[in-house]
Chains A and B, each alone.
Chain A
């Protein structure tokens, strides 16, 4: 057969074949390129840190030690707040057994900034005085001091990205959660290679019948890919990409790695504008405890909620959530993950979600706000929001709760008493430690659970009479020859022409004149006119300097109205100023942070106690003594009820023009507290410092069981019995005397006429006549 040339048909076939081969090769090449790109993307994401981790903010860890004043009930409350579970016998970390005089606690292990603390089993024995003894149940030995793990109070995440999470390792997660999640979400997880053919076919059939995508067939791997790399758009192209990536992910990583990532990625709820991701944060958000301590019904709820965080929101739709949870429990039982008894018991449990309907992990927004601001200067924003730093703060939850309770209940009560419309008044408050300057509690407004205008930090208002101690302190310190606590100052009208040609004629609050006053009494009764007179003698500049030495950061104009507190200062800064007084002139800058570590626990920064003497010790002691008189005999007598008889507190009321601001700032031996009350619109609200803020302050201090002052004069101060009539030295011969502190060497030397030690005074002559 002769070779014939190919027929045209055949030639066409050849060309088509060649084109197909080339086409396939090119397509394959392109696909390979695409796969390599996807592969790179996956590996990049999985290699380093997979998530931007917001910094975690912790409250101060509570120390338990013999001698600590703590009632069994308070200890129980403390443990409840930390998410410890009360049980019949200790059954794992985070459980406790409460008796009347003994509380057994299995303390969780925790990575503190100064090293890891292992898990402990202790018995705390209590009596009327507080903790009597702490016994280590495992070592069978007494312990001097034990630290509870600190409470997670919030996190610092950026405004733009609102995902928040607390990472967990797979080995921290209860087995039931791992297995249960797989059983509910992707039964074939351990068998498939990223996608489930059966599932795809089933979904494809459903989608074809509907004519659009109505059902997904996502494996856990696919869901992870979807959340990690893809948008939520549902089309076939994206689906194809998802399948390819799932296959690649499975090729590179083990099932455990994928499951761990999924546990941390999964969306479990919405807390305002913050998205709660992962079971680590989820268990905190819903149950206020670490994931390792989750119980059967709690695990089931979270696994159930994952199907639809809004629809099954246990706080908003508790019944729906419970139905879903019970269904999940049934599944657990059917899959032999739990026994029948466990199933029955779990179904009988309530949802057990903490925090009521508006529950939130961010419990103390005003405080976390302060922490964020303090960190601002030290860390880049990215470090705070991405690196999972652990920030150990000074917040004392007990003090914080007392402040919240007393301020919010207090203004409600005051509103009711005065028949004001509910919500008229606003308030803010700060509690700090005296020596060390730690901020223990902050309330930024009556709605203290919601981040909003933080009045404690940002509401700068006239401080009124809170300025007076600094006027007199300036006088005592700068003119010790002229001023002592008994220096008589006239309570007489003053008129001054101001530079702007206006006449300034201050009056006393009661519009009355009270005669010449000894300095301490003028302060105790908060008379304006003597204060202005003393202020004019030392000068406004000196007074402002004294305020700045105490901690005022502003630059007020040196005008006489400063003496009466025409200076706008925020409550936190007032706490700084009074804190310096309380610490005897040794200032510690207020701090809300103790230390910062990396997420692995490596220390990054410590914020040690810093002390600097900014006010002279002697004059500061004299002013503090006078401030105790404010409480004993002056405008703040109501405060005395906060402490047992015989104990002393010091403080000052503040009231501004037309009753726009009501202040009280004061301290005991270890706590400084500042309370402000007023209206946001600056309108008068009808309360003085005494009738408003002082009422809240007093109930707060009572609640805190604040210790009375130990008024021990420093070396450069001496006490001297003084005749109240003449201000001269007195002895038992005088009827009206007062033991007054003076700067050493400045006490009156001359005896008062009434003194038996006095000789040859005109009054002695008078006395002799009658004798």
Chain B
């Protein structure tokens, strides 16, 4: 035990010597107050927002499906956002696309990182034939969804359609590939 302690002290001394080998300059590293960082740094993987209750799921290179991911907006949204999303869906189905978009933007202001809202907004952009925006906004939703397959599959569908409409058939094919990949994973999982 004492031996081990001695070894550590020596080790630290050795490393300390290495670290200060740059001379007598003042150093804040590695002799810094963050030696306890591992303990005190809140792990970035711990979500603090109630809007994103599921743990982050790595999505590349293999996409494991998180079966506990929220499937619908209702699962993660407050009632105001749910209500606005319904209004937006009604407006969209009636072809009132500006109205649909403005309801979703209102929802977005209330819950800025609600990926279901962004996903719905991407579809409105698709309807409005604003394909670049549809792709960007769907991408933004994917980025916020952090591996939620139910949202991502919708977003990739939007991206595939927008790319197709834009005349980018390879991009569309790739996006469609993502759709099928998630479908398979969902079906298998």
Residues of A within 8 A of B (CB): 63, 65-68, 113-115, 144-145, 433-436, 438, 491, 512-518, 521, 525, 583-584, 586, 594-595, 603, 606, 608-613, 617, 625, 632-633, 646-648, 669-670, 707-708, 710-716, 718-719, 721, 724-725, 730, 735-739, 741, 744, 754, 763, 766-767, 770-771
Contact = CB atoms under 8 A, between A and B. Distances in A.
B27 interface: yes
Nearest to B133: A610
Nearest to B124: A608
A738 B143 contact: no
A68 B110 CA distance: 8
Contact of A435 (B48, B60, B113): B113
A516 B22 contact: yes
A223 B20 CA distance: 89
A515 B109 CA distance: 45
B80 interface: yes
A514 B29 contact: yes
Contacts of B33: 633
B44 A608 contact: no
Given A609-B121, A739-B43, A763-B11, 6 more contacts: A67-B80, A512-B26, A514-B28, A609-B105, A711-B44, A719-B43
B186 interface: no
B interface majority secondary structure: helix
Interface in B5-46: 6-8, 10-11, 15, 19-20, 22-23, 25-30, 32-35, 37-38, 41-45
B29 A433 contact: no
11 contacts: A66-B79, A433-B112, A515-B23, A583-B140, A610-B136, A612-B132, A724-B29, A724-B37, A736-B35, A763-B11, A771-B7
A517 B136 CA distance: 37
Interface in B82-105: 82-84, 98-99, 101-103, 105
B47 A710 contact: yes
A585 to B, nearest CB: 8
A610 B3 CA distance: 64
A65 B78 CA distance: 9
A58 to B, nearest CB: 15
B121 A771 contact: no
A738 B112 contact: no
B83 A744 contact: no
Contacts of B29: 514-518, 521, 724
Contact of A586 (B22, B26, B105, B140): B140
Nearest to A608: B101
B178 interface: no
A712 B121 contact: no
Interface-central residue, A63, A512, A515, A721, by most chain B CB under 10 Å: A515
Contacts of B80: 63, 65-68, 144-145
Given A609-B108, A611-B133, A633-B32, A737 B37 contact: yes
Given A66-B80, A586-B143, A716-B60, A648 B106 contact: no
Contacts of A713: 44-45, 56
A195 B53 CA distance: 76
A691 to B, nearest CB: 19
A719 B45 contact: yes
Nearest to B132: A612
Given A586-B143, A737-B38, A766-B7, A63 B106 contact: yes
Contacts of B112: 433-436, 669-670
Contacts of B79: 65-67, 144
Contact of B143 (A436, A521, A617, A721): A617
A715 B58 contact: yes
A63 B102 CA distance: 13
Contacts of B182: none
